[in-house]
Amino acid sequence: MTLALAEARAALATGDVPVGAVVLDPDGAAIGRGRNTRERDADPTGHAEVVALREAAAARGEWRLEGCTLVVTLEPCTMCAGALVGARIGRLVFGAWDEKAGAVGSLWDVVRDRRLNHRPEVVAGVRAEESSRLLREFFASQRTVED
């Protein structure tokens, strides 16, 4: 989670929401890193998880990331939850819950849907307070700027 939090902080430099993600291979080595890049790249799919999954797949030379762990600072949205299921991620570890858009238990539970062909293990709430604080501070600064 330390690496994912560092990625989240790096997103602040481009005005992106501070969410960071890391994909770890079965041995625990980081093979993909990502941060939100929606603002920087004007890309609606520029979520930290998608960026990290793409990098990990490129590093492995295949889209199947079986046995890998995705660590992310915020509960994935529906797009990202679908992407990690599609990539066959073995374990998802996340920090803060996302009551507005979360798809791993808050609003939906995409990753545990029995109709899908893959369901990763989920570990929630890891360093949640740090992840939440980073997001709260970001959004508070945005309101100050816009006011």
Classify 97 as helix, strand or coil: coil
Q: Which amino acid is at 39?
A: E
Q: Cα-atom radius of gyration of the chain, to the nearest Å?
A: 14
Cα 8 to Cα 14: distance, rounded to the nearest angstrom: 11
Structural tokens at position 114 = 């029995």
49 is catalytic: yes
> Which one of 49, 75, 130, 146 is the catalytic residue?
49
**CA dist 51 → 32, 118, 124, 134 (Å):** 8, 21, 21, 20
Active site residues: 49
